[in-house]
Amino acid sequence: MIHFKFIIMSAVFTFLSVKSYGSSLDLDYVKKVDLKLYQRLVEIKKCQDTQKSASECVKKTTPDNISKISDEAENPISKNNEKLKSEQTQWWLTSSYYKAPDVKQWLNAVQSTFSIDKLYGNIEGSQYSADLKYYSRYGQWTHLFSLGYAKDYVKQSGLVALDRKYHLFNYNARYDLNESWFAQLGYLEEKDTSLALEDAAVHFAGVGSYIYNTDKFILTSFAALGDKTERFSLGNSELTGLDKFNYKVAYGFQRLKWNLSKELAFIQSFEVYHSLDALADFELAEDVNLECIETLTSSATYCIVEYENRNKIILSLGLEYKLNQYLSLSYSLDFTKDSQPFLTDSSNNASHSLSIIANFQ
């Protein structure tokens, strides 16, 4: 690249000295490789035609200026990336081609969230949670690392659960194929000791679409296939005779961010999980109204009554208000429905969340 700039610089000074379009410099070639430089050369010729002094024309074509022109031609939207950073824009929600196509420049952001949640359903009570997300982008690759932690005072099945532990780790890598389509893979691990299935891990890969990608609307969808493992707590493993589920899963995700104003945004998301393998449905073996088709161990108090595919949906509705370029407040209402809850878990759960979000980039 340095050699190219040197050649162009030399060509400009040659152009100035010969004062002609074609004797020593092929302008057609310059036009093909560097349109902005070509336009500058035309301006130089016009400057010479007005009988201005050579020093005035040369001043407009100093090496520093030529280097700047060449850099802008090679990276015409680097300023857009700087603008994305300065405005604290959530660039990780949009395509890397949006406003900044084909530019390999690092973008980094850290987002931390502290939330107070009110839980209903399988567990009831107040929850205090925090999560930390790190986003990075280089070229068409966007990466997400996420950590989550929760501490709460809740009741499960009417009993106070003071020892509940929750944590989450998530990694996603997304590659933008063009302005409308992307491919994504990832790994997620979640632990919640208030659930009968207290430990879950899934790795997945799929494709998605930026359906709308504008300053006002950001609508994306994603579909993936994955492999999921859910582990039981030791106590529940003894009750059922099974220590884990391992199955193939299909996953769908849709997210909308609608900027109602410069400060206020409506956010909605919908997730669906479908097990591609039939999973065992357990019930108490002593229930005379049910017929057991299989008991895994002689000591198990739960037996298998049927095998069926599991479906789970999650709907989230919320508002986010931007206080300044770093801080936002958000409120969300979440609904979860599980077609095959495990043991005593509830099939319907809901939560209200009030959060403060900090963005740094």
Domain positions in the chain are: 2-74, 82-360
Q: The tokens of 298 are what?
A: 């002689």
Query: Would you identify the CATH topology of the domain 82-360?
Result: Porin (2.40.160)
What pLDDT score does 273 carry?
A: 93
The C-alpha angle with vertex 214 and arms to 211 and 216, in degrees rounded to 5, equals 115
Q: How far apart are CA 254 and CA 138, in angstroms?
A: 24
pTM for the full predicted model: 0.71
What pLDDT score does 180 carry?
A: 92
Q: The tokens of 283 are what?
A: 């019930």
Q: The tokens of 265 are what?
A: 């945004």
What pLDDT score does 30 carry?
A: 64
Q: How far apart are CA 252 and CA 27, in angstroms?
A: 53
Tell me the pLDDT tens digit for each residue of 118-155.
888 777 778 888 999 999 999 899 999 999 998 776 66
Q: How far apart are CA 183 and CA 176, in angstroms?
A: 7
- Residues 6 or more apart whose CB falls under 8 angstroms from that of 29 comprise none
Residue type at position 277: D
Q: What percent of the chain is modeled with pLDDT above 70?
A: 71
Tell me the pLDDT tens digit for each residue of 65-119.
544 544 444 444 455 555 555 455 788 999 988 876 555 788 999 999 999 988 8
Distances in Å between the Cα of 97 and the Cα atoms of 90, 106, 134, 138, 169 are: 14, 14, 20, 12, 28
What pLDDT score does 50 carry?
A: 66
Low-confidence spans in the chain with pLDDT less than 70: 1-38, 48-88, 100-103, 153-164, 194-196, 288, 344
What pLDDT score does 247 carry?
A: 93
What pLDDT score does 188 carry?
A: 94
Q: How far apart are CA 150 and CA 159, in angstroms?
A: 19
